[in-house]
Every structure is written in structure tokens, then in C-alpha cells.
């Protein structure tokens, strides 16, 4: 299974103050794996079903905006992904 790279941090300063930058590389292999997962999801599901794989940098951005992925249900998370045109991180074609 293709995994995401860790988040990298950069700290610096500018005229407005301290600058903290976080980056995370999202490889084409990672996105291809999610695409394969979407295709495979058309079959029968077992007890556990992967619905999405969301990078840490996206989760942290949402937390800063007031959307707590850890408190939301799957339907709200999928809606947020669709609303922000982040459908590449959705790993299922099933309705949730």
C-alpha cells in the first residue's frame, strides 16, 4: 500500500512576525492507490470499509477553520471533500 510522506515543517520570520509552514507531498502513487480503492469498492463490503484517506495537512487546515474531522460523521466528511474539490481522497463509490 502506498503511504503519504510525513509533514515537513519550516520556521522563519518575516515583517509580520514568525512564519510556520507545513508541507506534505501527495504522490501520484498515493492518488492512484485511492483510485484503485474506489474501483474495488464497487464489490461487497465487509465489516470495515475505507471511505477516504485524508492527508494530515488537510485535516489540520480544517481544524483551523472549525471543522473537526474527529467529531464529524462520514457523510459530513465526504461532503466537505466534495465541496472543496478534494474528491481524489475519497476511496469509495458507495453511499454513506
Q: Residues 19-75: pLDDT tens digits?
A: 877 888 888 888 888 888 888 777 666 667 778 899 988 999 999 999 999 999 999
Residue 47, SS3 per DSSP: coil
Contacts of 13 (CB under 8 A, 6+ apart): 19
Does residue 54 or residue 12 have the better pLDDT?
Answer: 54
Q: How many CB atoms lie within 10 A of CB 33?
A: 16
User: What is the reported pLDDT for 2?
Assistant: 52
Query: Does the model's pTM come out above 0.75?
Result: no
Residue 3 has pLDDT above 70, yes or no: no
Dihedral sign for Cα 26, 30, 49, 93, please: positive
Residue 11, SS3 per DSSP: strand
User: What is the reported pLDDT for 47?
Assistant: 64
Q: How remote is the C-alpha of 58 from its chain's centroid?
A: 6
* Whole-angstrom distance, CA of residue 56 vs CA of residue 20: 16
Amino acid at each position: 500500500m502506498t503511504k503519504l510522506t510525513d509533514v515537513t515543517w519550516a520556521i522563519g520570520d518575516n515583517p509580520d512576525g514568525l512564519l510556520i509552514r507545513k508541507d506534505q507531498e501527495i504522490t501520484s502513487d498515493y492518488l492512484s492507490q485511492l483510485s484503485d480503492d474506489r474501483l474495488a469498492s464497487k464489490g461487497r463490503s465487509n465489516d470495515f470499509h475505507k471511505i477516504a484517506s485524508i492527508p494530515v495537512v488537510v485535516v489540520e487546515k480544517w481544524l483551523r477553520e472549525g471543522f473537526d474531522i474527529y467529531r464529524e460523521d462520514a457523510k459530513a466528511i465526504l461532503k466537505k471533500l466534495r465541496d472543496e474539490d478534494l474528491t481524489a481522497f475519497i476511496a469509495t463509490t458507495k453511499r454513506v
